[in-house]
């Protein structure tokens, strides 16, 4: 069911999931809320997520790569505000992957991918 879900809906869901996990990670590091908020904005930015797209892509399963490409290939409904269009599209791919895994309730794989993101430099 999750694979047939609209890519835009997956990205919408994944945007919230990614931000929540980033906030939880920052608070777990002991950052006060105001500092965590500033740092989270950097982590969830389109530019940072586009970088994540390129760094984790080869570590994903073929199915996960397909989901990220589906998200990346969406025609954006909004214009990117603080990022290049290409970065915005890659970020949407990352969000689609997070939304897909969350919708599938594959929390173990979601944790693995988030850890991969952290290990690739977003912490």
> Residue 97's CB: how many other CB atoms inside 10 A?
32
CA gap 122, 25 in Å, rounded: 10
Mean pLDDT across 3-19: 89
- What percent of the chain lies above the pLDDT cut of 90? 65
What is the spatial distance between Cα 111 and Cα 20, in angstroms, rounded to a whole number?
12
What's the CATH code of the domain at 106? 1.10.1520.10
pLDDT in tens, 79-121: 667 778 889 899 999 999 999 999 999 999 999 998 888 776 5
Domain that holds residue 84: 2-122
Confidence of residue 12 (pLDDT cuts 50, 70, 90): very high
- List the catalytic residue out of 15, 51, 87, 106: 15
Among 54, 93, 99, residue whose Cα is nearest residue 76: 93
Average pLDDT score over residue span 55-68: 95
Tokens in use for 104? 């599938």
CB 46 within 8 A of CB 83: yes
Whole-number pLDDT of residue 13? 95
Instruction: Please check the confidence at residue 19 and state whether its pLDDT lies above 60.
Output: yes
42 is catalytic: no
Confidence at residue 18, expressed as pLDDT on a 0 to 100 scale: 94
Nearest partner of 55 among 107, 116, 106, judged by Cα? 116
Average pLDDT estimate for 39-44: 87
- Number of domains, the chain: 1
pLDDT at 82: 74
More confident: 51 or 3: 51
Please say if the pLDDT value at position 63 is more than 90: yes
């Amino acid at each position: 069911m999750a694979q047939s879900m609209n890519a835009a809906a997956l990205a919408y869901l994944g945007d919230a999931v990614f931000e929540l996990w980033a906030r939880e990670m920052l608070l777990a590091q002991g950052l006060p809320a105001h500092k965590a908020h500033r740092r989270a904005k950097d982590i969830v930015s389109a530019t940072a997520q586009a970088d994540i797209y390129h760094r984790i892509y080869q570590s994903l399963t073929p199915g996960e790569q397909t989901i990220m490409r589906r998200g990346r290939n969406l025609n954006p409904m909004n214009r990117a505000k603080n990022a290049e269009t290409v970065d915005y599209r890659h970020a949407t791919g990352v969000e689609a992957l997070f939304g897909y895994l969350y919708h599938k309730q594959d929390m173990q794989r979601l944790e693995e991918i988030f850890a991969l993101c952290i290990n690739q430099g977003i912490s």
